[in-house]
Amino acid sequence: MAKAAIVILAEAEGHENTGRVVNGLEAAKEFAETDGDEVEIIFDGAGTTWIPKLEDEEFDYHDLYAAVKDEVSVCDHCATAFDVGDAVDQAGLARLADYEGHPSIRELVDDDYEILTF
């Protein structure tokens, strides 16, 4: 039984960042599909800018995102800072503000999650 927290930090611009988000979502999907594993996907920092693109049903990787959307949450502070708060709310995603407005990575480590960043 594995526990993984996939943290997406890459912004939604550039070919290399598309690769990062796709690799992060693919990893998350593998954990989600494995019985007994736990996965959390956190869009943090500039990574929050992916939410409007991933929510677009015409986007190439929307289906991959949709397959793991139930595991997705977003940094509350960063959603506001990167002006994607409305998209996050419309998507119905949880906002995390556990530590000074941001997700608590420490809590995840304390709960034995392996932290993977993309």
pLDDT in tens, the chain (118 residues): 999 999 999 999 999 999 999 999 999 999 999 999 999 999 999 999 999 999 999 999 999 999 999 999 999 999 999 999 999 999 999 999 999 999 999 999 999 999 999 9
Domains and CATH numbers, the chain: 3-117 (3.40.1260.10)
Structure tokens that stand for 64 in this block: 């991959």
Q: Residue holding tokens 């070919």? A: 15
* Rounded-to-integer distance, Cα 27 and Cα 6, Å: 8
Encode 72-86: b = buried (16+ Cβ within 10 Å), e = exposed: bbbbbbbbeebebbe
First to last CA, the chain: 22
Give me the pLDDT at residue 71, please: 98
| Rounded Cα gap, residues 47 and 5, in angstroms | 14
**Do residues 12 and 56 touch, judged by C-beta distance below 8 A?**
no
The CA R_g of the chain, rounded to the nearest whole Å, is 13
pLDDT of 64 reads 98
For the question of whether the overall pTM of this predicted structure is more than 0.85, the answer is: yes
